[in-house]
Amino acid sequence: MPLSKRSTLTQFLIEERRRFPGASGDFNALILDVALACKAIARSVAYGELAGVLGNHPAEGGTSVNVQGETQKKLDVISNDMFISANNWGGHLAGMASEEMDDPYQIPGQYPRGKYLLVFDPLDGSSNIDVNVSVGSIFSVLRAPQDVIDSGRDIVASDFLQPGTRQLAAGYALYGPTTMLVLTVGTGVNGFTLDPGLGEFKLTHPNIQVPPDTQEFAINASNSRFWEAPVKRYVDECLAGKTGPRGKDFNMRWIASMVAEAHRILMRGGVFMYPRDTKDASKPGRLRLLYEANPIGMVMEQAGGRASTGSVPMLGVQPNALHQRIGLVFGSKHEVERIERYHAEPQPYKDEASPLFNERSLFRD
Ligand code: F6P
């Protein structure tokens, strides 16, 4: 196959950097190291059982569990190690934090420390691994606090507690029928497809834009009895279709891999909700702010979409813990704005009137 005229990720980053003559190149090197980790993970995912990487990660007395209390898959642990080994030596980072590590990762003493922080979910949607459904990696780049840069001290969890507006870059890799890297460095969103023969990401989806309107929504409806009234109202109105207040039919999807849902929404619009609910009072939402909601939020907003807690813009939220959970709504701008409006309005809405919960409900026997 001839080399196409498409830019590689490296070319793209160099061309972006030319617009900032003072830039050192550290940032580009960091993104390329992240991309390398994603390529390595893509390879392991592609080999699957051939490489013996499916199934739960064994631990003393059974299966290992991460700080979230979730069962760790072998590939969760392998992917976390790949992120670390691709990124710990280059001198660009002051530290890392991941879904799979209770505490921040310190750059080992033998390597130089840099000015960035890398936060990641090494394998999102990992419950889908064993059934061969798309999974992905999510990452976010922050600047380390100035005193960390000046002193080179060890990082602590509070160094990462920066609102999403402070992200310098964010993106994800999707390990689907093709492997894609979708990246924002704050100047729009670009999608790169891995050429597996060449081992390079090539720019295939420049300047991705999320359509502002949609007729497709994604939510785990098995949680409907725990939803708050504005979410019930929104979903009911979608389900009511042409004859309801929205006057149009909606389609529903739930892959249970947020990265795959985010990608579908970037490609053709839609809205994703994993809202705050009443299922477990100790968990105000399912998804994690720093390495799921914020990076996907930045990608959405940079592509003209919107990301929210349901009530307020996601990227403005001041984090209070490294592994903080939060309600997350993102996607087509006008739909997310509508959901925010429903949260802001006084609630005349009654569950009993809901097509979800009335006699002919979808969710009743
Ligand atoms: O851990 C995150 C995640 O796997 C997301 O990728 C996905 O959207 C969600 O959890 C699925 O959750 P549930 O199993 O409750 O539908």
Give 138-171 pLDDT, tens digit per residue: 999 999 999 999 999 999 999 999 999 999 999 9
Confidence at residue 349, expressed as pLDDT on a 0 to 100 scale = 55
The CATH number covering residue 255 comes to 3.40.190.80
Q: pLDDT of 26-37, one tens digit each? A: 999 999 999 999
Strands 306-308 and 328-331 come out as antiparallel
Residues lining ligand 1, Cβ inside 6 A: 124-125, 127, 220, 256-258, 274, 286-287
Confidence at residue 340, expressed as pLDDT on a 0 to 100 scale = 98
Instruction: Tell me which residue range forms the domain holding 257.
Output: 216-357
* Smallest CA separation from ligand 1 atom 4, residue: 125
82 inside domain: yes
Ligand 1 atom with the smallest distance to the CA of 261 is 8
Compute, in angstroms, the gap from residue 10 CA to the centroid of ligand 1: 32
pLDDT-flagged residues of the chain (< 70): 1-3, 348-365
* Smallest CA separation from ligand 1 atom 15, residue: 220
Q: In terms of Cα–Cα distance, which of 165, 153, 83, 76 is closest to 118?
A: 83
Confidence at residue 283, expressed as pLDDT on a 0 to 100 scale = 87
Confidence at residue 360, expressed as pLDDT on a 0 to 100 scale = 44
The CATH number covering residue 166 comes to 3.30.540.10
Confidence at residue 1, expressed as pLDDT on a 0 to 100 scale = 58
All residues at 6 or more sequence positions from 104 whose CB lies less than 8 Å from its CB, including other chains: 95, 96, 97, 155, 156, 157, 159, 160, 322
165 lies in the same domain as 228? no
Compute, in angstroms, the gap from residue 318 CA to the centroid of ligand 1: 23
220 inside domain: yes
Tell the residue number behind the tokens 């030596």, with chain if given.
89
Q: In terms of Cα–Cα distance, which of 180, 277, 171, 169 is closest to 230?
A: 277
Confidence at residue 65, expressed as pLDDT on a 0 to 100 scale = 83
Confidence at residue 359, expressed as pLDDT on a 0 to 100 scale = 40
97 lies in the same domain as 235? no
